[in-house]
């Protein structure tokens, strides 16, 4: 497997489904933003495919020059590879709530125990504690010529961040499990999935003139994302949750 270039400056370096960047079937999409002088990785998968994931990053750039791995949230399919990432010398950053849970390898707070009981992960899968640095929302991060805005986006779970980057092909949203193609959302019957906060998050994102939507799963939206985000916000404005990506 290898990295799949999506846009100028953006590669898919991990995925549970994409045939050209497959790392492990349980993994989310993981993205590398890189301009030749610096960049960031968004999310790191479960850790079950970390060797391939690290090799994919290395096929595009020198991992030592990457500014860090930015985690959207603490669910294992996005953050379980944190320990492998730090062992490889990468800095890993997440919302302070997520960083605390990942540092402790807390399988209750991250809802891994529930997800395992539901059969979503292998029965012997565990969350390795990882030295994840707290990344408060509202910051702008810089690595080489790449600048990324860190945006608070609760709703799918507590401590969810999304990342905005103004790239050569337009304003790009790395949305994790916050919003998907078609303006769908990800609602689960877990204690920290909060519909009222989800509505505020989507209504805020709809006003940010986003062109490109790169979510944590399923279809990538390489143009015209604003209309799809507005669809989700309009639904929430009528107090009706948008369609759920999970069925």
CB 169, min distance to Zn ion, A: 26
d(Cα 226, Cα 211) in Å, to the nearest integer? 6
The answer to whether 5 touches 30, Cβ cutoff 8 Å, is: no
The answer to whether 65 touches 90, Cβ cutoff 8 Å, is: no
Nearest of 3, 23, 25, 2 to residue 12 by alpha carbon: 3
Site for Zn ion in 111-170 (CB under 5 A): none
Q: What are phi and psi of 232, to 5 degrees?
A: -65, -45
CB 157, min distance to Zn ion, A: 6
Q: Which stretch binds Zn ion (CB under 5 A): 32-40, 68-76, 147-155, 199-207?
A: 68-76
Q: Which stretch binds Zn ion (CB under 5 A): 2-10, 52-60, 84-92, 177-185?
A: 177-185
CB 85, min distance to Zn ion, A: 18
CB 156, min distance to Zn ion, A: 6
Helix (H, G, I), strand (E, B) or coil at 26: coil
Q: Count of residues binding Zn ion (CB under 5 A)?
A: 2
Question: Is residue 148 within a helix (H) or strand (E), and if so which, with residue range?
Answer: strand 146-152
Residue 177 binds to Zn ion (criterion: CB under 5 A): yes
Residue 75 binds to Zn ion (criterion: CB under 5 A): yes
- For Zn ion, the binding residues (CB under 5 A) are 75, 177
């Amino acid at each position: 497997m290898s990295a799949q270039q999506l846009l100028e400056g953006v590669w898919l370096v991990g995925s549970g489904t994409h045939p050209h960047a497959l790392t492990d079937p349980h993994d989310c999409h993981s993205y590398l933003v890189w301009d030749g002088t610096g960049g960031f990785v968004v999310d790191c998968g479960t850790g079950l495919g970390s060797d391939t994931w690290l090799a994919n990053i290395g096929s595009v750039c020198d991992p030592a020059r990457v500014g860090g791995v930015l985690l959207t949230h603490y669910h294992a399919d996005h953050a379980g590879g944190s320990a492998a990432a730090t062992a490889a010398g990468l800095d890993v950053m997440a919302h302070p709530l997520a960083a605390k849970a990942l540092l402790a390898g807390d399988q209750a707070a991250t809802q891994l125990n529930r997800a395992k009981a539901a059969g979503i992960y292998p029965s012997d899968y565990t969350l390795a504690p990882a030295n994840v640095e707290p990344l408060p929302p509202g910051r702008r991060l810089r690595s080489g010529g790449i600048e990324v805005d860190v945006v608070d986006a609760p709703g799918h779970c507590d401590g969810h961040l999304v990342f905005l980057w103004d790239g050569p092909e337009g304003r790009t949203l790395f949305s994790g499990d916050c919003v998907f193609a078609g303006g769908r959302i990800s609602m689960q019957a877990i204690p920290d999935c909060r519909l009222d906060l989800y509505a505020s998050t989507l209504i805020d994102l709809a006003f940010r003139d986003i062109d490109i939507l790169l979510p944590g799963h399923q279809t990538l939206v390489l143009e015209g994302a604003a209309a799809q985000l507005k669809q989700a916000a309009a639904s929430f404005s009528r107090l009706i949750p948008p369609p759920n990506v999970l069925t």
